[in-house]
Structure 1
Amino acid sequence: MLDRRSLLKMAAGSAALTLIPSTSLLAQTQGKRMAMVFDVRRCTGCLSCSVSCSIENQVPEGRARTRVTQSSMETADGVATLAVPNQCNHCDKPSCVEVCPKNATYKREEDGIVVIDYDKCIHCQRCVKACPYGARRKDPKYKTAPEKCNFCVHRLQQGLLPACVETCIGEARVFGDLNDPNSEVAKLVRDNRVYGMLPDSGNLPSILYIGLPQPSDDKKILKLNHLEWQR
């Protein structure tokens, strides 16, 4: 179990997350550009997102598509303990797409969501290693495709929100089209300091964070074990 001292050591000497200018995020592109904003100030760590996602998508045990870790970090105002969600970042330049030998993983042209064509997938799991966010859950027996968030595309087709967003009791998750200036997600990006994980990867994530104290080390946050909660 992680204790407060070890978590504070995690923050020492860390490199700050990269602030993404809202002008670049809100630059108009063709079609829709679906994204999700996590407001970590509102996340209670209740894990309803993980549970509802697993039920909605019938995810195998131990391969949850969305996870939440708890991170403690020292700030100018003292120690901040935050619940930090993590899942597929639906990158603008996804490395998982580049390594897929069968083009089974691809980015949808109409909305930018990264999905898997299960009929094409050969279960090689190469995409699992290629994802810098650790957001794909490998099948250790290589019999099925990796598990990853797809923003519940089957729900979007029915005009519904992703299951994790609909069940978030703290309203910490906001989903929408960045190309729609009137969408809640676009307004959040416009009115807040927005951060992206692992800017050096070149993946350009569509999962964005607000409310993270600085400095915060994204690499170490992503490596935290989601099962080791500080209680």
Structure 2
Amino acid sequence: MEVRMGFVIITSRCIDCDACMVACRAENEVPLGNSRNWVKASGVQGQFPKVKETFEPGNCMHCDNPPCVKVCPTGASQKRSDGIVIVDDKKCIGCKYCMTACPYDARFINAVTGKADKCTLCLHRLEQGLKPACVQTCLGKARQAGDLNDPESIVSKLLAAYPSRQLLTKQGTGPNIYYIDEAVPEIPEGK
């Protein structure tokens, strides 16, 4: 079975501490003013005294059918066999077509390089057997990454145990970030 990397994000565990964003910026030398990942607030829900605010972390969806790859005139935007969508800096001309095509607003032009930039699932860390920086530093363990096709991975175990949702599925992109909104009291052991 082919490897298909992706994320599971447990929104009930996110406290909007932004540690994931700080870790990503430091790990990937992202210029100030930009971010490869984010946390969006959903707003306050409920009525006093039972109110809560939930947060939705996000980043590149590493889509099965990435529109950014289709529109790239130089082939700089690529989908790897493991499902990770990358940008080849040597081929990127900074035309911004990929930014326009992405319905998730997951790309930016790196002011230092002049090239498109985005989440790579910390590919350099994965190749060393490490977790992505955002996953490693998440205080609430809201972010999890792994092989969606491996039944022994943390992400597969979470998806088997809890209902999930994806963003903008009607776009036909096949996003590989799954959101679990239900409370997850314990993170399962896994790869």
Residue 39 of structure 1 deviates from its aligned partner by 0.2
TM-score by length of 1: 0.74
Does 2:55 align with 1:83? yes
- For 2:55, the aligned partner's letter is A
Specify every segment of 5 or more residues in structure 1 that has no aligned partner in the other structure, as ranges: 1-29, 214-231
Q: Give the percent of matched residue pairs that are identical in Structure 1 and Structure 2.
A: 45
- Equivalent of 2:140 in 170, 176, 183: 170
Aligned-pair CA distance for 1:200: 1.1
> Quick check: 1:34–1:112 contact (8 Å CA) kept in 2?
yes
Residues 1:46 and 2:7 aligned together: no
- Distance in 1, matches of 2:117 and 2:94, equals 11
Shift of residue 80, structure 1, vs aligned partner: 3.8
Q: Which residue of 1 aligns with 2:121?
A: 151
2:84 alignment partner, one of 113, 128, 132: 113
- Once superposed, what is the RMSD of the aligned Cα atoms? 2.1
How many corresponding residue pairs? Answer: 182
Letter in 1 for 2:181: G
How far has the Cα of 1:48 moved from its partner? 0.4
1:192 is displaced (CA, Å) by 0.6
Show the counterpart of 2:186: none
Compute the displacement of 1:96 (Å): 0.3
The letter for the 2-side match of 1:133 is Y
Give per-residue Cα distances to partners, 1:158-180, cap 9 Å, x unaligned: 00000000000100111111111
**Does the C-alpha gap of structure 1 residues 171 and 142 become closer, same or farther in structure 2, counting only changes over 3 Å?**
closer
Larger relative contact order (CA 8 Å, sep ≥ 6): 1
Deviation of the 1:73 alpha carbon: 5.5
Contact 1:39 1:211 in 2 (8 A): yes
Q: Distance in 2 between matches of 1:42 and 1:36?
A: 14
Tell whether 2:3 aligns with 1:32. Answer: yes
Task: Report the Cα distance in structure 1 between the residues aligned to 2:6 and 2:94, rounded to whole angstroms.
Answer: 27
SS of residue in 1 equivalent to 2:117: coil
Deviation digits for residues 17-42 of structure 1, max 9, x if unmatched? xxxxxxxxxxxxx4201110110100
1:182 maps to 152
Q: Secondary structure at the match of 2:108?
A: coil
CA contact (8 A) 2:162 2:182 kept: no
The alignment status of 1:93 with 2:65, answered yes or no, reads: yes
2:86 match: secondary structure: strand
Name the SS for the 2:109 alignment partner. Answer: coil
Aligned-partner Cα distance in 2 for 1:75–1:108 = 43
SS at match of 2:56: strand
> Distance in 1 between the 2:65 and 2:46 partners?
32
Segments of 5+ residues of structure 2 without an aligned counterpart are 184-191
Match of 1:12 in 2: none
Q: Could you tell me how far 1:147 is from its partner in structure 2?
A: 1.9
The answer (yes or no) to whether the contact 2:14–2:140 under 8 Å persists in 1 is yes
Q: Which runs of 4+ in 1 moved over 2 A?
A: 73-76
2:74 counterpart letter in structure 1: K
Match of 2:27 in 1: 56
Partner letter of residue 121 of structure 1? C
SS in 2 for 1:195: coil
Separation (CA, whole Å) in 1 of partners of 2:91 and 2:46: 47
Tell me if structure 2 keeps the 8 A contact 1:125–1:142. no
